[in-house]
A and B are shown apart, each in its own frame.
Chain A
Amino acid sequence: METKNKAMLSGQHFMNGDVACAEGAIAVGCRFFAGYPITPATEIAERMARRLPQVSGVYIQMEDELASIAAVLGASNAGTKAMTATSGPGFSLMMENIGLAVMTETPCVIVDIMRGGPSTGQPTMPGQQDVMQARWGSHGDYEIIALTPSSVQEMFDLTIEAFNLSETYRVPTFLLADEIIGHMWERVNIPSAKSIKVVNRKKPVTPPSEYGPFKPDEDLVPPMACFGEGYRFHATGLTHDEYGRPKTDSAEVQQDLVQRLCEKIRRNSDKIVKVDRVLLEDAEVAVVAYGIASRAALSAVRKARAQGIKAGLLRLVTVWPFPDKQVEEVAQKVKALVVPEMNYGQIVREVRRVAKETPVIFLSKLGEEPHKPLEILDALGEFRK
């Protein structure tokens, strides 16, 4: 593929998910990547190493994932859209500075190409075992955003979306894919530069003397000055007031800050959350799935329809913040929900919380193979009239 010094490879391509992710990042203006090699995310780093210097960006291979995420935060605070990509073990190492990104409201995108865990687990096999870690992995109370692509095209599209959301809400945003989506080759349409929506962090309009780096607007998001812009701001991982001053013994400041960090996402969740609804209008049973599992689910739903079972699919494009309303709406209409996941039960907990009285059937899958459509169809078969 001829890439020479072009930021946008507009046109049709055949590529794998990791490469599509890198191209999405470049298309939306990411110009800094710091990472550490790890299967099955390495191809993102390799692509960025080749592509970023072509478009005046920076690729740096750091000494570990602790350094990678720290460098990403440094670059973002210097005014550059920045990202890293990793898998389970590296994701674990990044957790502390993900908390720093939350606390200092540093926009950044973290891609986790999930493999089998715990620990070193199965490096070349798919998994969906890090979705709860993405939500809760760093200490303290906070909210983040996480998107779950289910195709190579979505690796491109949702990487763009992840940057836009991260810039909008000044929050670390995750792209949670898995080994299959990362390594699978599919056709990708890369649109023209003009047709891509690019959101940049809002800049302060107040003079430096009045600027509070953590003083929010009505949407609860503070405008962001960057290094070298004359604002001379201070940011810290300590609990801080609107001017970035550490307030380590004030209950009030702690309350206000933590509440705002959570509420800026919760209150905007209607704008953030995306789901894909398939054949749900008259559905009597619905599959709730995301990522790789949603592909088998779609096939199972179609097969079920062919057999006269009124099945539908609610595909979660956003898993965090959790689409409470969207899942609840479906749960109220159907007799049961089926949740296939490549883990031992993570998002299903959220589905059960929201589904209340509606039965939820969980289909766990661990190891090499994703769910087979027939396995999901079996679960749907119980609702045959």
Chain B
Amino acid sequence: MTKKQLEMKHPYERFLRKERMPHIWCEGCGNGIILNCFARALDELDIDLNNVVVVSGIGCIGRISGYVNADSFHTTHGRPIAFATGAKLAKPELKVVVISGDGDLFAIGGNHFIHAARRNVDIKVICANNFVYGMTGGQYGPTTPLEAWTTTTPYGNIEQAFNLVHLAAASGAVYVARWTALHVRRLTESIKKALQKEGFSFVEVISQCPEIYGRHNKMKTAISMMKWFKEASEVRNFSDPAKADISPSRIIVGEFVDVEKPSYGRLLREMKAKLQTE
């Protein structure tokens, strides 16, 4: 690279806390793609960063809150959605976005996910689903596919995996989408939609973890994992999320739910306004 190229500013630099770089993520990790798509979505919507709050839990992607140049909170394991619920209700003008992993949001934090979706709290949840607990070195979690090898499934995984888009839809989310880290354009569009939508919106990103997951499951590099995404992905917008289980041969992606329903915050405001006039 020339000196001039090195000095060039990254177009999304303003979205990052540069002093936090380098990040902690491994080479080939999908988290950088998710951060990039999130920054692009904020940029394209021209959202005032002073009104954005990024909340994350524990895990590799949990560090994202420290990298985004907005108000941000790195909570305890499993609790970002409950924290975000409090922040959003206390200050409704904020755009509150939870970005966290599959283990954080659906194992230890699963209860908060379904209840926030049921209440239709106006928060946005982006889940980096890499099928594994990466930060602790590769244990199986609630999205690990059957038969996968992890450090705690040394004889192959015998637990069924959650189908996250089905869970989100059944719990009441008003917007549900799934993409892989390969679908950057469509992922960005879905994040944009989620950010503009009133109510509980959920975007699942199937994300490669070559270092901790892929290399133990016959996909040694990021490229080989993304090849899997490419070959197995099938775009089926507004298909039945109940039938969108992920298998080695098929990853159904697309938008699954996009409906209108008054958010918890709206109903709360209406209730309070009614009390004031009574």
Contact = CB atoms under 8 A, between A and B. Distances in A.
Contacts of B91: 78-80, 226-228
A53 interface: yes
Interface stretch (B35-43, B45-53, B246-254): B45-53
B183 to A, nearest CB: 29
B51 A74 contact: no
Interface stretch (A62-70, A122-130, A271-279): A62-70
Interface in B42-86: 49-51, 53, 55, 63, 65-66, 69-76, 78-79, 82-86
A234 B17 contact: yes
A311 interface: no
A5 B86 contact: no
B41 to A, nearest CB: 18
Nearest to A32: B90
Contact of A73 (B17, B20, B86, B88): B86
A257 to B, nearest CB: 15
B120 to A, nearest CB: 13
A158 B71 CA distance: 32
A132 interface: no
Contacts of A63: 82, 111-112, 115
Given A104-B73, A234-B72, A237-B74, A34 B86 contact: yes
Contacts of A53: 268, 271-272, 275
Nearest to B93: A228
A80 B86 CA distance: 10
B276 interface: yes
A246 B20 CA distance: 9
A200 interface: no
B104 to A, nearest CB: 13
Given A54-B275, A227-B94, A228-B51, A70 B89 contact: no
Nearest to B50: A230
Contacts of A68: 82
B154 to A, nearest CB: 29
A246 B66 contact: yes
Q: How large is the interface on B (under 10, 10 to 19, 20 to 34, 35 or more residues)?
A: 35 or more
Given A62-B82, A234-B66, A75 B71 contact: no
A56 B272 contact: yes
A355 B40 CA distance: 64
A5 B79 CA distance: 33
Nearest to A52: B272
A235 B73 contact: yes
A185 interface: no
Chain A CB count within 10 A is highest, among B50, B53, B72, B74, for B74
Given A80-B91, A228-B93, A236-B74, A74 B83 contact: yes
Contacts of A96: 76
Interface string A45-77: 000000001101010101110111011111111
Interface of B: 17, 19-20, 49-51, 53, 55, 63, 65-66, 69-76, 78-79, 82-91, 93-94, 111-112, 115, 268, 271-272, 275-276
13 contacts: A32-B90, A34-B85, A70-B76, A70-B83, A73-B83, A74-B83, A97-B79, A227-B94, A232-B50, A235-B73, A237-B76, A245-B20, A246-B63
